[in-house]
Amino acid sequence: MKSRSRRFAAVDILLILMMVLPIAAAIALKVLTTPASEGINITGARIFFTIPMPVQDLPITEAQVNSWLVLITIFGLCLYLTHGLSVRGGSRRQHAVEWIVEKCQNMVNDSMGEYFKGFAPFIAAIIGLSAFSSLLSLFGLFPPTSDLNVVAGWAVLVFFLITFYKLKAGPLHYLKGLTEPVALLTPINIIGEFANPVSMSFRHYGNVLSGTVISVLLAAGLQGLSSVLLGWLPGFLGEFPFLQIGIPGVLSLYFDLFSGCLQAYIFAMLTMMYVSGGFPAEEYFARKARKEQKRKQKLEVI
């Protein structure tokens, strides 16, 4: 029994390390590769190296590396939360897991309907990946959600899902929908098909990036204000940025924590709304019933 509990604890420690080490590696990589600079320095994701490709070279950026590290952290968290699950339950960890699964499933069922109940893991993955990526800014790291390429990739995936479910009732029904309510609006309807992923990506990217920029500007402004108001203090005290103590942390609770989680929730809600809203349920089930009826008629003839 003691040997089993020791193995269980050892696995838990390994899984915790799997969650912590990627973040520590990202911090170490940033410290070792960021050149020294003075004043405000707001830039995009740094390019570590470039892989030569036949058509266009592939740059490996800070956003990509941090995204991979976030994926490893989330994977370790999932393994940790699901380690030691039992039918009887009882542990706090299992109660937390069951609560998360139940809330995600209820959210999908309420927003998308019973037909899309299998979407719960996908929606939970979107929320987790987006939220954890945005929260990297709390550690002074570049959040992948501040890179348009990252969130645009998520939006393209959602676009394919939307189109896939719109085609469930057949290509002809999908093309017919582009001509409604009148054929003259067909070009606008076609533009609207591509507008959804574009708006999703720019909304998410813009809100996260603006929060990061505002936090940096406020921190720099507080440093200058501290120098103006308290620069008369003797020696080290006149150079110390007293106004930077606490105030940026309070602002970070909104720009990094609240806003990042809110944008993850909004992106997930828009995904559910666009996918379920584009699905022609009545036409799909009517088409399915006709196919089933034809299949039965063929069997009767045989």
Instruction: Compute the average pLDDT of residues 36-46.
Output: 65
The answer to whether the peptide bond before residue 22 is cis (omega within 30 degrees of 0) is no
- Predicted pLDDT at 16: 92
pTM of the model: 0.83
Provide the percentage of residues in the chain whose pLDDT is more than 70: 87
**Is residue 69 predicted with pLDDT exceeding 90?**
yes
Buried b (16+ CB within 10 A) or exposed e, 49-68: eeeeeeeeeeeebbbbbbbe
Region of poorest pLDDT, from 107-111, 127-131, 168-172: 168-172
Q: Specify the higher pLDDT residue, 105 or 299.
A: 105
Query: Which residues are registered as beta bridge partners of 58?
Result: 51
Region of poorest pLDDT, from 13-22, 113-122, 204-213: 204-213
Q: Specify the higher pLDDT residue, 210 or 195.
A: 195
**Is residue 272 predicted with pLDDT exceeding 60?**
yes
Answer yes or no: are the C-beta atoms of 61 and 147 closer than 8 Å: yes
* pLDDT tens for each residue of 75-123: 999 999 888 888 776 778 888 888 999 999 999 999 888 889 889 999 9
Question: What is the Cα–Cα distance from 105 to 94, expressed in whole angstroms?
Answer: 16
Answer yes or no: are the C-beta atoms of 50 and 57 closer than 8 Å: yes
Which of the four pLDDT bands, split at 50, 70 and 90, describes residue 4?
low
Mean residue pLDDT across the chain: 83
- Predicted pLDDT at 36: 62
- By residue count, the chain amounts to 302
